[in-house]
Amino acid sequence: MTSDDRVQRLKQALAPQDETACEVCLSQLADYVSAQCSAEDYAAQYPEVAAHLDNCLNCASAYARLYEFELAARADELPSLERVPEPDLGFLLSVAHEPAPASALRHRLQREALSEKLREALQRVGARITLQLTADLLPLLRPAAATAATRAPADAGRFSEVLLQLDPAELPGAARPIGLAAYRDAQHPVECLIEARVILLDRSWPDLGGIPVTLIVAGERREVTTDAWGLASWEGVPIARLSELQVEVTLASPPNPLS
């Protein structure tokens, strides 16, 4: 790096940063750090984050703290005191006005990352809404170990292990029209039960029945209709194919635009 390059880099670092750019960076920071700690090509996956961290001292400081925390967690070197006080990480968010514990910050960043991915995964064409899962979206849908599904399936003994869960009520921004859950089949461990829930602003129980919903996986289309709660389900779905799964909802009239 030449002397001119160093001067230019210093000017960029000292220049006032756009708050919107900081918010975008922070919303992806947890994924950025996770990719880096997993030896992935994190700079190529998140080029905007990498460039922003080079020029923003505040976000770079936040990244350094989160990176050290992630390394310690992966090495099982976090403090083992009976009660570890959570640090105030409110400074990581430019709009924060109250202390934010590390767990709350991480949860918020994960929810914002999921909301952003869903904007790409949800498509609308006329009266048809499509949710397309991908390998990038799948990790964000895995529930925490202590988290239970919003609604247990009818055969809860057979389908007790929650593999994936998408609860639109937990996401920031506008409501999403499709909820999703996947449960491992205890009788056939390589397969799962998929449940999709249709959520409409102008309809609720018991007026959510009879809506056509199609599951597309491994080239096979399986169409069912919702019950009065807006629920559709399919058994025997290969777990190995979850990253290719697509859900199509066909409404009688075009829904409100997705945000």
Q: Where are the domains positioned within the chain? A: 3-79, 114-250
Residues in contact with 243: Cβ distance below 8 Å, sequence separation at least 6, in sequence order: 133, 134, 135, 138
At residue 95, the pLDDT reads 47
201-248 pLDDT, tens digit per residue, is: 888 888 899 999 999 998 899 999 999 999 999 999 999 999 999 999
At residue 108, the pLDDT reads 64
Q: What is the mean pLDDT of residues 111-132?
A: 80
> What is the residue type of 231?
L
State the Cα–Cα distance between residues 163 and 93, nearest whole angstrom.
Answer: 31
- The alpha carbon of residue 124 and the mean position of all alpha carbons in its chain are separated, in whole angstroms, by 20
3-state secondary structure of 11: helix
At residue 66, the pLDDT reads 85
> What is the residue type of 219?
G
54-94 pLDDT, tens digit per residue, is: 888 888 888 888 888 888 777 776 555 455 555 555 555 54
At residue 194, the pLDDT reads 94
pLDDT class of 96 with cuts at 50, 70, 90: very low
At residue 94, the pLDDT reads 47
Say yes or no to pLDDT of 187 above 50.
Answer: yes
Measured from the Cβ of residue 53, the count of other Cβ atoms closer than 10 Å reads 20
Which H or E run contains 172?
A: none
Cis peptide preceding 168, ω within 30 of 0: no
Say yes or no to pLDDT of 185 above 90.
Answer: yes
At residue 3, the pLDDT reads 59
Contact 224, 213 (CB under 8 A): yes
State the Cα–Cα distance between residues 233 and 175, nearest whole angstrom.
Answer: 21
Tell me the percentage of the chain whose pLDDT exceeds 70.
68
User: What does the block give as tokens for 17?
Assistant: 């940063």
At residue 73, the pLDDT reads 77
At residue 212, the pLDDT reads 95
70 exposed, middle or buried (CB, 10 Å; 0-12, 13-18, 19+)? middle
State the Cα–Cα distance between residues 185 and 191, nearest whole angstrom.
Answer: 6
Contact 56, 22 (CB under 8 A): yes
At residue 237, the pLDDT reads 95
Measured from the Cβ of residue 52, the count of other Cβ atoms closer than 10 Å reads 22
At residue 69, the pLDDT reads 82
- Compute the mean pLDDT over every residue in the chain, rounded to the nearest whole number: 77
Contact 168, 259 (CB under 8 A): no
- Range scoring the smallest mean pLDDT among 8-17, 20-29, 179-188: 8-17
Contact 230, 200 (CB under 8 A): yes
Phi, psi of 243 (to 5 degrees): -70, -10
